[in-house]
Amino acid sequence: QQQQQQRNHLHVGQQPDCAEALNACVQRLATGGHPRCLSIPAGHYPLATTVLLNVSHMVVRVDGGAVFVPYDPRTGSAAANNLLNTTTTSTAGPTNHAMFGIGGGVRGHGPQPVENVTLVGKGPGRDEQFLIDVSKPFVFPWKTNGVSVNAVRGFVLGNLRVLGPGDRNKTFALQAPSLSFDGDPPASPGGPWLHPYDGVIENVTTTGSWFGYGTVQARSAQNLSFANLDGEGGVTLRLESGGPNPEFMDNMRGRNISCHSGHAAFMANPHDKKMGVFHVQDLYSVACFATASFGSGYPEYNHTAGWFSNASTIRNIVGVYGNTAQNKTAVGVPSCAPCHAGSPTRPEDFHVTVTNVTAHGFPAPSNRTRCYLWDRYPAPGCP
């Protein structure tokens, strides 16, 4: 038993392109017994393809000081040319790609979901977190996720940092959410839509995000718990379904979510259909467009408005006014309000219970201590 356990603890060293070696280690673990553990030490790891964690009952532990960057072996530049496409089953085209992929299904190159997968850094401290660095200019106009999570039941993801491009005016086409949670096509025609279930995401820090992206975007998932997320730029925790696919979110929970010089700490913006319930608490923002934001499904982009269950709650919101916020057209603008809601299109759109909202430094007359609809209460920084 001791020999079996040792054989399944593989230690990966550094190579010019490390993705192939890492994926080979994962597949080797699939043929062994439990526990399936992969240890990645500190170092610099170029990835020309996505590292696919598509084996059940595995734990990947990454030391602090490990840095992962996209790499094009043909040019030696930081280009995500071969990274797995996270929005279709192809690896070509100007769409989202991923450095790490968690899950089975089509995107995980396997027919069925997997279960019980862990990808974590050494600890929650900055020196203990591993780093995914997508800050360098890409030669192809492709967006890159740090981690894409799809067809998996039971997972832990945490203790990591994602460094984005940083130039929030000019890198829109190259940005994507640092962590993406989405559905996957069924393994067979008429089968169930596959998406993440029963996950814990904690101790994640991101920097350099554009207004429309940020730390997390969840499009289809159930029973996820987010804690201790901090983002510079963009939205730290975004619940936004994405169109006509059978995407669905329910029992989404968040705690201790913060944002600075960005869009919002939390955003709910469902498209096209009713979603389940969410509960978030302890939101904090400094110099952001809003601390909590509610969208109406982007009807201007041919979506119909969706909505969450009216049992959803948000509590303990703190917004600190500043002049380095983002909106759709600019950066370095004044904050709008601690809570912000787009114009509702149906009575049920914004029946969410919001309690304990605090504002610091917002201008008179209201100091913006309540939630406002932007078309009724225009203010500096609001569109």
At residue 60, the pLDDT reads 96
Residue 240 C-beta-side C-alpha neighbours within 13 Å: 23
Look at residue 343 and tell me whether its pLDDT is greater than 80: no
Dihedral (C-alpha) 329, 335, 339, 345: value to the nearest 10 degrees?
-30
CA-to-CA distance for 157 and 179, rounded, in angstroms?
A: 10
Q: What percent of the chain has pLDDT over 70?
A: 70
Minimum mean pLDDT range among 129-138, 171-180, 264-273: 171-180
From residue 354, give the alpha-carbon distance in Å to each of 32, 203, 293, 294, 342.
49, 25, 11, 12, 16
The token pair that represents 358 in the structure block: 């605090």
- The length of the chain, given as a count of residues: 383
Dihedral in degrees, nearest 10, Cα atoms 94, 98, 99, 100: -160
Question: Are the C-beta atoms of 112 and 160 separated by less than 8 Å?
Answer: no
Tell me what pLDDT residue 301 has.
65
pLDDT higher at 162 or 77? 162
Calpha distance 369→383 (Å, rounded)? 19
Question: For the ranges 149-158, 237-246, 316-325, 359-368, which has the lowest average pLDDT?
Answer: 359-368
Judge whether residue 141 has pLDDT over 50.
no
Q: What is the mean pLDDT of the chain?
A: 78
Give the pLDDT score at 271: 81
What's phi and psi for 113, nearest 5 deg?
Answer: -65, 160
Element (H, E) at 20: helix 19-30
Range among 12-21, 219-228, 289-298 rated most confident = 219-228
**Looking at residues 203-213, what average pLDDT do you find?**
89
Contact 216, 179 (CB under 8 A): yes
Q: For residue 307, what pLDDT is reported?
A: 82
Q: State what percent of residues in the chain have pLDDT above 90.
A: 38
pLDDT reported for residue 231? 95
Q: What pLDDT shows up at residue 169?
A: 45
Q: If you average pLDDT over residues 96-104, what whole number do you get?
A: 82
